[in-house]
Chain A
Amino acid sequence: MFVKVNSKRCQGHNRCGSLAPELFDTDEFGMAFPLYHEMLPPELEEKARLAADNCPEYAVLLKK
């Protein structure tokens, strides 16, 4: 699984960063970016799903 943040949709709610700090960080304006660009280790997939399921802007994207 790969994880991406659609920066055009992200508004800095930080739901992904608080649910999955291993996977996301925020810039000085609070906008999210992913920490992994390569395939996620399987143990982090559940966290990635949680982050995607809680983003009110539908900005966290998962790709198989």
Chain B
Amino acid sequence: MDETKPVEDWTTDFNIFDPQYSRDPAPFWSEIRQTCPIAHTGRNGGLYMTTSYNDAQRLVRETDILSNRQISIAPMQADKDLLADYHTEVNPPITMDPPESIAVRRLILPFFSVKAVEKHRPYTEALCHQLIDGFIDQGECDAAEDYAQQITPRVIAHMLGIDETRNEEFVSWVRGLIEDGFSDFDARRDNLKAMTTFFQDMIEERRRYPTGDYISDLITKDIDGAPLTDKIIVNLCVLLLIAGIDTTWSSIGSSLFHMATHDHDRKRLASEPGLFPSAIEELLRFYAPVSPGRIAMKDLEYNGITIKKGERMMMNFPAANRDPAQFENPDEVILDREQNRHVAFGIGHHRCAGSNLARMEMDAALRIWFERIPDFTLTDPGAVTWSTGQVRGARRVPVKF
């Protein structure tokens, strides 16, 4: 099937890689939601997609049938082969299901509690200042490439306790994996291999000289009395990279895009810093980046449709966040929105384990940007680009100030 042919009917043939959809998917979601809220496409090997808030709330709780075993809608079989030495079949706990995933989630959740992530705020703030120092005198920069995308890999490196002198190397692997790796299997393999070797060495080093960081702590933990294997520790580190980097940089980049293109919101946030907490939730709602997949382990009858065993479903949390049945004026950013049960971090058992870290990074990145660059606009609206697929966000946001 030609995956790039134009879409005739969005409810039976949607295409999440369509360029117009990537730029602004909301009108497509609205059309689908009104006619057939669970859409299907034969593209990408066949896929369902939710668009309503209520369906996302209900289906996410069907964990016995809709499994997390396959969260990518573009399955990368290659990873399994490349990582045969490290991969336990799954990438725990995100590609596991309850009850097995409960114990693994409990291993990592304490690292991401509100109190635990606050410990990384001073580092994050100093980093934001340092990045701005680098471009503020030029009067222009790319708010996504030079700022958002520089923050999150370094914060994760800091959390993992990576030696500062190897930071640049680490960041280049991560970017190689996330950016080039999506379309280039060789790049993906090479970067993944470099990373797993690196973590394996770190595990050995931390066994000898624990430092109290993420890896040192995981080494001391167990599941039902069995110490964690190196495989699972490597996988938990790789998960932190995959889940914690382009997701949060998307949210920061999209937020700055919004502020560069909406004078009223920009001026309001600059003059009323008390709005930051609700504004961040609203930007998370409006520009939610992540739509994880599920795979049916048996047939599921739901609202008159049958999702057959082996078929896949994309939990479209960003579309749920624009459902008028749940949100008043859903396609409007309202910085002081009072009722906001948005689902940007997913809902149910697999709620993003790093949501507190992502919120802290967004808060630090936006506050410091606004402190130092309260007034900014796009240099060239035509130069803005968006990533597409399951992690959507602004990737190029050239601004002047």
What residues make up the interface of A, taking CB atoms closer than 8 Å to B?
11-15, 17-19, 26, 28-30, 50, 53-58
Contacts and interface: CB of A to CB of B under 8 A. Distances in A.
B351 A13 contact: yes
Interface string B98-109: 000000001001
Interface residues of B, number: 21
Contact of B114 (A17, A19, A57, A58): A17
Contact of A56 (B112, B338, B347): B347
Interface in B107-122: 109-110, 112-114
Given A29-B110, A57-B351, 15 more contacts: A11-B347, A11-B349, A11-B351, A12-B351, A12-B355, A13-B351, A15-B281, A28-B109, A28-B113, A29-B113, A30-B114, A50-B338, A53-B339, A54-B340, A55-B341
A53 B110 CA distance: 26
A19 B110 CA distance: 21
**8 tightest A-B contacts by CB?**
A11-B351, A29-B109, A53-B339, A56-B341, A30-B113, A28-B110, A56-B347, A56-B343
20 contacts: A11-B348, A11-B349, A11-B351, A12-B109, A12-B351, A12-B355, A13-B351, A13-B355, A14-B355, A19-B277, A28-B110, A29-B106, A29-B113, A30-B109, A30-B356, A53-B338, A53-B339, A56-B342, A57-B347, A58-B341
A10 B110 CA distance: 16
B345 interface: yes
Nearest to A56: B341
A64 B341 CA distance: 22
Contacts of A57: 347-348, 351
Nearest to B114: A14
Interface of B: 106, 109-110, 112-114, 277, 281, 338-343, 345, 347-349, 351, 355-356
A26 B345 contact: no
A14 B363 CA distance: 15
Q: Which of A14, A15, A29, A58 has the most CB of B within 10 A?
A: A29
A44 B347 CA distance: 27
Majority secondary structure, A binding face = loop
B68 to A, nearest CB: 14
B392 to A, nearest CB: 19
Contacts of B341: 53-56, 58
A42 B348 CA distance: 32
Q: Which of A11, A19, A55 has the most B CB atoms < 10 Å from its CB?
A: A11
B359 to A, nearest CB: 8
Contacts of A18: 114, 277
A14 to B, nearest CB: 6
A29 B105 CA distance: 9
Contacts of A58: 341
A4 B281 CA distance: 23
B342 A14 contact: no
Nearest to A9: B348
A58 B112 CA distance: 22
